[in-house]
A and B are shown apart, each in its own frame.
Chain A
Amino acid sequence: MNGLASILRKEFMHLRRDRTTLVIAMLLPLIQMIIFGYAIDFDVRHIPAVAVDLDHSRESRDYLEQLQATQYLDFDATADTPDQAADMLRSGKVRVAVTIPPDFARTMAQGGNPQVGVMIDGSDAQVSVRARFAFLAPQPLSKGVPQARVNVLFNPDSRTVNFMIPGLLVVVLQVVTVALTAFSVVREKEMGTLEQLMVTPVGRLALMLGKLLPYAVLAMAEFAVVLFVGDVVFGVQPHGSLLALSVIAVPFVIATLALGLLISTLAQTQGQALQFTLLTVMPSILLSGYVSPRETMPGWLYVISTFIPATHFMQATRGIIVRGAGFFDLVPQFMILWLIAAVLIALSTARFRKSVS
């Protein structure tokens, strides 16, 4: 135990002077408990749904209103045909489609039980189970009682891996790619090589892009690896186009690498860069919709989750792998990912100064 007291004293002195570590150690658990406490909520409500009302009667409207009143479903879209509704399910715009047959009101009046067609996106088991609750609620209608014929599309046997693996590969990819560039600038700062670069006429944007793009190639290779493992080890194969998935992966890895670059321009030391990188891990798991559906998040948290690249790419991987969605179903996600990438690169370039202070 030679020198224990001295080492203890010295470490406390370091700790007291290292403000960043102190702030991260004290403030972070506080913030994370609050944010992530809201994020993890399996009591899914307000599931986006589409109604195909072929009857256009007062009774059919009453029935839809009752479903809405259960709070499990939110009919914020309408479609003219069941096929249209199925397309909306595949593209991920809605998770539930309710089709009311043309003879709904007549059958009811005759005391019959009209058959209502219900299609549920089964890719997320938590969502699909909750969606069924809407149809279990008592139906105090006169005479006939509508019968919901539930049809679970995509992942009909509700295998969890089918849903979790496409999400997991996004989380894994985001965490490892951020780490690829998080050290790039701050390492040069610590090694002293940045001092030499600053006195050269090198362009700031050239430096940022030059640092990012080689890692984009590496990150795409990593993407291939995680897809391969998902397929070979867990038996999860894309129902949709692998090419479409890869095309959307490009802006995703550029966005996450740009996030790493921004961390690298903010951090003063490589140790700090590591701490900042670890900060991105929890949000990409808990806020991206990986653990619990974004529909359950309070509005402000939903807004925060919009800025996370993993959120959008996860919609793409689940769409393409689980539901067989096509590239054009996911153009919004593709565009948002490019937008996030561009903003992050612009921020890093603005942050990086070729001068000292």
Chain B
Amino acid sequence: MAVENAIESEGLTKRFGDLVAVDALDLSVAKGSIFGLLGPNGSGKSTFIRMLCGVLQPSAGKASVNGFDVAKQPEEIKRSIGYMSQSFSLYRDLSPQENLEFFGGIYGLRGAKLKERTSAVIELVGLQRYVSQPSGTLSGGWKQRLALAAALIHEPPLVFLDEPTAGIDPVARRQLWDLLFELAGQGKTLFVTTHYMDEAERCSEVAYIYLSKLMVHGTPPELKALPELSPSGTRRLAISTDRPPVALQVLKVMPYVRDATLVESDIHLLIDEAATNEEIVRKLTEAGLTTSGVRTAEASLEDVFVTLTRRLAQT
């Protein structure tokens, strides 16, 4: 039977003493997808990834990665995946070339094949100019590209990327994502964790973990259409005014405003349906502000996660 999903997890659980770090996680990741895993720090993301990578034994439940059982075949899993950590974890005193040859050797590549793979990944990430300087002297963005190259040296069908863009500049971030799209285009499955909503929007599937539990899993449009985001009797508005931060303080305290935030200098509101646009404009005018536009808005992924997190925190 052909394996349809790169990752299948059923009731996967990890306990550290009394602490439940990952609580009965059911999740499947389709082959070829860019899968985004989101969740606050300490929510269990890292523990989940470690179990999937075969470096942490689950306490209960089961999971398979590339068709291998995480509890019974960790070494087979390690051979079939690439892993890129958020902090640079290659050898700083070795050059990119030396690092890549080292990791290629660990994965059993030899001779001509090793040479071919090393040049292929160097070319893929565009490292040609920096192959012989110590890796520790590369900038953050180049370090991450080198780490990605190392994760790809043995042509794994599935790559885990743990906050790959943490702490690198926007241009490098964009270039890294361009690379990820290219890899996805070649049919690789990418499992990415991130705190950035714009990165989540780029994923073909997104899951959100909160307090060790999986809260939602779906495509970004599916998540934005969740009924929890548009409770009956409410609607979403985007308002353009001068001095948006002041306007936000004015509107936030109105009894009919359920949620208010700033997005690209617009104010996004979730309000009771009964409240009219005119009422809102009047409030802003009373505060000495000029409103230049009021329109209906869509929920963003951020709204999805903020809303779901608040709901869980209240119960």
9-residue interface stretch from A28-36, A193-201, A293-301: A193-201
Q: Which residues of chain A from 332 to 346 have a CB within 8 Å of any chain B CB?
A: none
Is the pair B90, A355 in contact by a Cβ cutoff of 8 Å?
no
Distance of A200 Cα from B105 Cα, bound (Å): 11
Kindly name the residue among B55, B57, B87, B92 whose own CB sees the greatest number of chain A CB atoms within 10 A: B55
- Enumerate chain A residues within 8 angstroms of B79, measured Cβ to Cβ: 201
Cβ–Cβ contact B56 & A193, under 8 A: no
Binary A-proximity of B67-97 (CB < 8 A = 1, otherwise 0) = 0000000110011010101011111100000
Cβ contacts under 8 Å, A196 to chain B = 83, 85, 89-90, 103, 150
Whether B53 is near chain A, meaning CB under 8 Å from some CB there, is yes
Query: With a CB–CB cut-off of 8 A, which chain A residues contact B83?
Result: 196, 199
Query: Smallest CB–CB gap between B312 and chain A, Å?
Result: 28
Assembled-state Cα–Cα distance A197/B83 (Å): 10
State A200–B91 Cα separation when bound (angstroms): 15
Residues of A193-218 whose CB lies within 8 A of B: 193-202
The residue of chain B having its C-beta at the shortest distance from the C-beta of A194 within the complex is B89
A159 interfacial by beta-carbon distance below 8 Å: no
Tell whether, in the assembled complex, residue A201 and residue B50 are in contact, meaning their CB atoms are under 8 Å apart. Answer: no
The interface residues of chain A lying within 8 Å CB-to-CB of B106 are 197, 200-202
- Among A193, A199, A200, A354, max chain B CB count under 10 A is at A199
* B160 smallest CB distance to A (angstroms): 8
For A, the interface residue count at a CB cutoff of 8 angstroms equals: 16
Query: For residue B91, which residues in chain A have a CB less than 8 angstroms away from its CB?
Result: 193
Separation of A354 and B107 alpha carbons in the complex (Å):
15
CB distance from B233 to the nearest CB of A (A): 48
On chain A, the residues within 8 Å of B141 by CB distance are none
Across the interface, name the chain B residue whose C-beta is closest to A197.
Answer: B106
Contact of B55 among A191, A193, A202, A354 (CB under 8 A): A354
Chain B residues with CB below 8 A from A357, complex form? 56
- Residue A356 is within 8 A (CB to CB) of chain B in the complex: yes
Q: Is the beta-carbon distance between A200 and B103 smaller than 8 angstroms?
A: yes
Tell me which residues across on chain B come within 8 A of A192, comparing CB atoms.
Answer: 85, 87-89
Assembled-state Cα–Cα distance A78/B60 (Å): 67
* Interface membership of B54, Cβ < 8 A: yes
Q: Which listed residue (B55, B90, B92, B107) contacts A356, Cβ 8 A? A: B55
Q: Report, as a range, how many residues of chain B touch the other chain.
A: 20 to 34
Q: A193, B90: Cβ atoms under 8 Å?
A: yes
Q: How far is the CB of A57 from chain B (nearest CB, A)?
A: 74
**Contact partners of A195 in chain B: CB under 8 A:** 85, 87, 89
Answer whether A199 and B90 are a contact pair too, CB < 8 Å, given A192-B85, A354-B55, A355-B55: no
**Chain B: which residue is nearest A202 at the CB level?**
B106
For the complex, give the distance between the alpha carbons of A202 and B106 in Å: 6
Of chain B, the residue at the smallest CB distance from A196 is B89
Q: Nearest-CB distance from B194 to chain A (Å)? A: 19
Please tell me if the beta carbons of B55 and A198 are within 8 angstroms of each other in the complex. yes
Q: Which A160-213 residues have C-beta < 8 A from chain B?
A: 191-202
B255-297 vs A: 1/0 string, CB under 8 Å?
0000000000000000000000000000000000000000000
Give complex CA distance A200, B90 in Å: 12
Most buried by B among A192, A200, A202: A200
What are some 26 contacts across the A-B interface (CB < 8 A)?
Answer: A192-B87, A195-B85, A196-B83, A196-B89, A196-B90, A196-B103, A197-B106, A198-B55, A199-B54, A199-B81, A199-B83, A199-B160, A200-B106, A200-B107, A201-B78, A201-B79, A201-B106, A201-B107, A201-B108, A202-B106, A354-B55, A355-B56, A355-B57, A355-B74, A356-B55, A356-B56
